Each structure stands twice: as C-alpha cells, then as structure tokens.
C-alpha cells in the first residue's frame, strides 16, 4: 500500500502498487493523449485494477475495475474562457471575457465508471 504521496502530473506513478491511500494523482487538464476530454488515463497499457481511497483523482481516469472510495474524481477544466463579448464604452470597443470552469464528468460509485456530461457544466466566476 502506498500512502500520502504526491504523483501530480505523473501518468505512470513512480510507486507502483495495488492500493493507494491519501495520494494526489491530479492532472492539470482532463484532456487525454487522444485529445478527448475524458480524463488522463493512469497506468496506460496496464489494466490491473487498483484501489484508491481518499485520493485526489482530479482529471484522472484509473484503470478499469478499480475501486474508488471517497476520492475527488472531477474531470474539470479549471480556468477557461466561457464567453466573450464586445462592449463599447465612450467610443472604445472593449472585449469582455467571462472565465470559469467546465465540468466534463465524475466517477459514479454505483456503476464504478466515469459518467461524462454532454454538454459539460459551465460555472462562470463572479466578476465584481
């Protein structure tokens, strides 16, 4: 069992085991090698089921058949331009950009697989 390790940004974690507790596997983006927004596959080419307990699996997709318990499983683009609009103020055109996040999917504990949202849920940040 591997505990309390940070594997952030590693597609093939440096410590291989079948059980991980309180580990961070987060990836910066949910875009996999094929360019699809479905989560970066952990342990590519290795379908060994693993157990993840209290881990951060943001933008990750564990091997098929893995057990995921009390983990953060969001597939999310955290800082994206959701919309832009041009506004004219005192004769000057200004481009206003609404930024926020896009949630593409989450782990479903009942089916033990990721559920993908189409379209994704967009959450704009409040602008003051």
- Higher pLDDT, residue 46 or 6: 6
Cα–Cα distance list, 47 to 19, 50, 63, 73, 80 (Å): 14, 9, 5, 19, 32
pLDDT of residue 29: 80
Structural domain that includes position 119: 2-124
pTM value? 0.76
Q: What pLDDT, in 10s, does the model give residues 24-37?
A: 999 988 766 566 66
Quote the DSSP letter at residue 56: B
Number of folded domains in the chain?
Answer: 1
pLDDT of residue 61: 85
CA distance 71 to 17: 17
Query: Average pLDDT, stretch 96-125?
Result: 83
Residues of the chain with pLDDT > 70, as a percent, come to 91
| Confidence check: pLDDT of 85 > 70 | yes
Cα–Cα distance list, 26 to 13, 74, 85, 127 (Å): 11, 10, 32, 27
Q: Which residue(s) pair with 77 in the sheet?
A: 102
């Amino acid at each position: 069992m591997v505990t309390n390790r940070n594997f952030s940004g590693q597609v093939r974690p440096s410590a291989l085991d079948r059980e991980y507790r309180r580990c961070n596997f987060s990836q910066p983006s949910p875009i996999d090698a094929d360019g699809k927004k479905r989560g970066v596959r952990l342990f590519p080419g290795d379908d060994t089921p693993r157990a993840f307990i209290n881990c951060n699996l943001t933008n990750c997709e564990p091997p098929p058949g893995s057990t995921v318990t009390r983990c953060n499983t969001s597939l999310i683009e955290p800082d994206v331009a959701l919309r832009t609009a041009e506004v004219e103020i005192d004769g000057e055109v200004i481009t206003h950009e609404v930024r926020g996040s896009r949630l593409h999917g989450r782990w479903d504990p009942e089916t033990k697989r990721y559920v993908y949202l189409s379209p994704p849920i967009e959450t704009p940040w409040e602008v003051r």
